[in-house]
A and B are shown apart, each in its own frame.
Chain A
Amino acid sequence: MPNQELNLYVMKIILLALMLGACAHGRANEPKMIPVMEQDGTTYVASAALARGAAIAIKKLPGSDFVVACSGERCAQLKDFLNKGDELWVSTTALTKALGLSARFADGKRQVRFEVVPEEPSASDPAARVGQLAPNFRLPKLKGGTVSLADFRGKRVMIESWASW
């Protein structure tokens, strides 16, 4: 029956659309090629391109001589960067070293793709310093449950320590 054929046809289209969607989704999570700029023998990538293509966030803190780069759970400070136009360009070498990434260049070093290299957690002095990553902590709440600094990821959080003294 033509009706049945039509149904089958519609189903095929839906299935195809779903498969394409899944592929596109998979590709979106994969690292993309990012344009590279070379200056004085050092290769740099732009912060906006990093955010789009590699989900790496770059932030410059006012009054500091470094930028902070974050990729997934890892954040680190970099000093090797340029201000060009309205954009921050960070050195690919500094970026890979700081965040434990590997850089795969292509197209005669005009493009690069970053991949995460699994690494051992490093031991470091946990005490909080201004300008550095805060150490995480988890504490019990007075009315039950716990609270962790990591719960506030993506938000600014003011921490008020006090005693009734």
Chain B
Amino acid sequence: MSIAVDVQGPKVVKPYVEKFGVTYPVAVDASDIFGQAFGLKAIPVTFLVDEVGIVRLRGEGPSRALLAQIEAILKEPQLSVRGKSPQLSAAGTKADLEQKVAATPSDWRSRLALARIQDEEGQPARAVAQLEAAAKLQPRDTSIAFVWALVLLHQGERNAALAKLKLARDLDPDNWRIRKQIWAIEHPEKFYTGDSPDYDWQNEQLSREKSHR
């Protein structure tokens, strides 16, 4: 399964996939649903989930070592698993989250998770209401600012989105995903036009930002 995690969504993913002639299905995580569930702070990250549904491997970046680990796991005997998925428990579904928020209004994590789903389902006003409530409870949380940014971005509010993204970056300065996401939105020409992103520019940009701090 291939998941593109750019919050700008299909419009930036599609040209790339077409340019490189990717034939396998690509999923798009514009609302940070996968990103949050799998705790992504940098990209690329590879996961291997086995037949039972257990995360067996988490590897950052492509590497030979990672490939060897994957091959070793694939050689293990495979269990035959029947029935429905163990992952399909009601926990984390929209109905479950709505119920939790109603029962415990101070449950800001559930509000945040609900906002992601509402954004994905095209309900920005509801998502923002959840985020406002969550931010009141937890004003300095990176994820709340990040999700708020992507909701704004999906509404075409680029500047407001960038302000929230920068707040998220300042709350978690080592988060590469947020830092690069800001660059990609502010300087699309350095990311989406050439054959590959301009990594020299990225290094320069990083040292500029570091000297700023």
Contact = CB atoms under 8 A, between A and B. Distances in A.
B89 A73 contact: yes
A109 B71 CA distance: 43
A129 B48 CA distance: 11
User: Contact size class for B?
Assistant: 35 or more
B80 to A, nearest CB: 7
Contacts, number: 211
A151 B10 CA distance: 22
B1 A153 contact: no
Interface string B1-39: 111111000101110110000000111110001111111
A25 interface: no
Nearest to B31: A139
A158 B13 contact: no
B55 A131 contact: yes
B111 interface: no
Given A150-B85, A153-B85, A122 B91 contact: yes
Interface string B51-90: 1111111100000000000100110101111111111111
B14 A142 contact: yes
A98 to B, nearest CB: 12
Interface of A: 55, 57, 59, 61-62, 68, 70, 72-75, 121-124, 126-143, 146-147, 149-150, 152-165
A121 B96 contact: yes
Given A134-B54, A156-B48, A162-B5, A142 B74 contact: no
A121 B91 contact: yes
B155 to A, nearest CB: 18
B43 to A, nearest CB: 5
Contact of B51 (A122, A132, A142, A156): A156
The residue among A59, A155, A163 with the most chain B CB atoms within 10 A of its own CB is A163
Contact of B47 (A68, A123, A126, A128): A128
Nearest to A153: B85
Contacts of A156: 48-51, 73-74, 78
12 contacts: A57-B52, A57-B81, A72-B86, A128-B55, A134-B55, A137-B37, A139-B34, A142-B10, A147-B25, A149-B85, A160-B3, A165-B6
A15 B97 CA distance: 50
Contact of A135 (B10, B16, B90, B92): B92
A73 B17 CA distance: 35
B102 interface: no
B173 interface: no
Contacts of A75: 52-54, 86
A93 to B, nearest CB: 21
Given A132-B55, A134-B55, A164-B197, A153 B81 contact: yes
